[in-house]
Structure 1
Amino acid sequence: MHHDVIIVGGGPAGLAFARALHGSGLQVALVERQPEPELATPRDDGREIALTHRSIATLKALGAWAHLDPADIAPLREARVLNGGSPFALSFDAQGSEDDRLGDLVPNHRIRAALFQAVADQPGLEILAGVAVATVLAERTGVTVTLVDGRVLRARLLVGADSRFSSVRQQLGIGAHINRLGRSMLLARVAHEEDHHGIATEWFDHGQTIAMLPLNGRRSSAVLTLPAADIDDLVQLDRAALGTDLTRRYHRRLGRMTVLAGPDVYPLAITWSKHFVATRSALIGDAAVGMHPVTAHGFNLGLQSQAMLARLIRAAAARGGNIASPLLLRRFETAHRLAALPIYAATNAIVSLYSDERPPARLARMATLRAGTHLPLVRSAVSRLLMQH
Structure 2
Amino acid sequence: MRSDVTIIGGGPAGLATALSLESLGLSVTVLERAPQAALAEPAFDGREIALTHHSVSLLRDAGAWARIPSVGISPLREARVETGRHNHPLTFDTNGQGVEALGYLVSNHLIRRALYEEAVSRPGIVLRAGVATRRVRDDGDGVTVLAEGGDVMSRLAIAADGRFSEIRRLQGIGAIVHDFHRSMLVCRMAHESPHHHVATQWFDDGQTIALLPVNGGASSLVLTLPPDRIEVLRTMERERFNEEIMARVGNRLGAMRLVSSRHVYPLRAVYAHRFTARRFALIGDAAVGMHPITAHGFNLGLKGQGILAQEIAAGMARDGDPGSAAVLRRFSMRHRLTTAPLFAATNGIATLYTRDESPFRYLRRAGLRAADSLAPFKAAVTNMLIDRGKTA
TM-score bracket, shorter-length normalisation? over 0.9
Question: Deviations 1:304-333 (Å, cap 9, x if unpaired)?
Answer: 111110121123224543211111111001
- What residue number does 1:78 align with? 78
Aligned partner of 1:14 in structure 2 is 14
**Distance in 1 of aligned mates of 2:157 and 2:338:** 22
Q: Which amino acid aligns with 1:112?
A: R
- After TM superposition, list the pairs within 5 Å mapping 1:46-65 onto structure 2: 46-65=46-65
Q: In the alignment, which residue of structure 2 is the partner of 1:250?
A: 249
Matched, 1:148 2:148: yes
> Match of 2:344?
345
How far the C-alpha of 1:203 sits from its partner, in A, is 0.4
CA distance, structure 1, for counterparts of residue 232 and residue 324 of structure 2: 51
Counterpart-to-counterpart distance in 1, 2:372 and 2:181? 32
Counterparts of residues 1-389 of structure 1 (less than 5 Å): 1-149=1-149, 151-388=150-387
Local SS of the residue matching 1:214: strand
For 1:121 and 1:85, how far apart are their aligned partners in 2?
A: 51
Higher mean C-alpha deviation, range 138-147 or range 352-361: 138-147
Residue 198 of structure 1: CA displacement? 0.7
Shift of 1:355: 1.2
Q: Secondary structure at the match of 1:196?
A: coil
Deviations 1:200-219, CA, capped at 9 Å, x for gaps: 00100000001000011321
| Structure 2 SS opposite 1:122 | coil
Q: 1:248 to 1:195 in 2, by over 3 A?
A: same
Superposition TM-score, scaled by structure 2 size? 0.97
Deviations 1:227-263 (A, max 9, x none): 0010111112122221111100000011111100021
User: Is the Cα–Cα contact under 8 Å of residues 24 and 318 in structure 1 kept in the other structure?
Assistant: no
- With 116-125 and 158-167 compared, the bigger mean Cα shift is at 116-125
Measured against aligned partners, the alpha-carbon deviations of 1:88-142 in whole angstroms (never above 9, x if no partner) come to: 1011111121102101000000000000111112112111111110121234332
8 Å Cα contact 2:46/2:187 also seen in 1: yes
Query: Taking structure 1 as reference, are residues 96 and 138 closer, same or farther at Cα in structure 2, changes over 3 Å only?
Result: farther
User: Shift of the alpha carbon at 1:359?
Assistant: 1.6
CA contact (8 A) 1:30 1:126 kept: yes
* Structure-2 separation of matches of 1:223 and 1:291: 15
Mapped to 1, the partners of 2:185 and 2:296 lie a distance apart of 18
Could you tell me which runs of 5 or more consecutive residues in structure 1 were left unpaired when the two chains were aligned: none
Structure 1 residue matching 2:7: 3-state secondary structure: strand
**1:9 partner amino acid:** G
Alignment partners' CA distance in 2, 1:373 and 1:3: 52
Give the C-alpha shift of residue 25 in structure 1: 2.6
SS of aligned partner of 1:7: strand
Worse overlay, 56-65 or 19-28? 19-28
Secondary structure in 1 aligned to 2:219? strand
More deviation in 98-107 or 315-324?
315-324
Structure 1 residue 165, shift from structure 2 partner: 0.4
RMSD: 1.2
* Aligned partners of 1:137 and 1:172 also within 8 Å: no
Between the aligned partners of 2:121 and 2:193, the Cα distance in structure 1 is 44
Cα distance in 2, alignment partners of residues 60 and 133 from structure 1 = 30
SS of 1:87's equivalent?
coil
Contact 2:45 2:109 in 1 (8 A): yes
8 Å CA contact retained: 1:138, 1:172: no
| Inter-partner Cα distance in structure 1 for 2:323 and 2:87 | 54
CA contact (8 A) 2:30 2:127 kept: yes
Please list every run of at least 4 consecutive aligned residues from structure 1 whose deviation after the TM superposition is greater than 6 angstroms: none
Q: Distance in 1 between matches of 2:340 and 2:377?
A: 19
Shift of 1:342: 2.0
SS at match of 2:195: coil
In 2, the alpha carbon distance for the partners of 1:120 and 1:152 equals: 20
The superposition leaves residues 330-356 of structure 1 with CA deviations (integer Å, 9 ceiling, x where unpaired) of 100111111112221121111110111
The C-alpha deviation readout for 1:123-177, integer Å capped at 9, x for no partner, is 121111111101212343321111134x221111010100000111111111101
Is residue 120–residue 126 contact of structure 2 (8 Å, CA) maintained in 1? no
Distance of 1:31 and 1:353 partners within structure 2? 40
CA contact (8 A) 1:180 1:270 kept: yes
Greater mean deviation of Cα atoms: 109-118 or 230-239: 230-239
Q: Matched residue of 1:222: which SS?
A: strand
TM-score between the two structures when normalised by the length of structure 1: 0.97
Which residue identity lines up with residue 49 of structure 1 in the other structure? I
- C-alpha deviation, 1:83, in angstroms: 0.5
Bigger Cα displacement from structure 2, 152-161 vs 236-245: 236-245
2:30 aligns to what SS in structure 1? strand
* Distance in 1 (alpha carbons) for counterparts of 2:293 and 2:287: 18
What per-residue deviation string (whole Å, max 9, x for no partner) do you get for residues 57-109 of structure 1?
11000000110110000010011111012321011111121102101000000
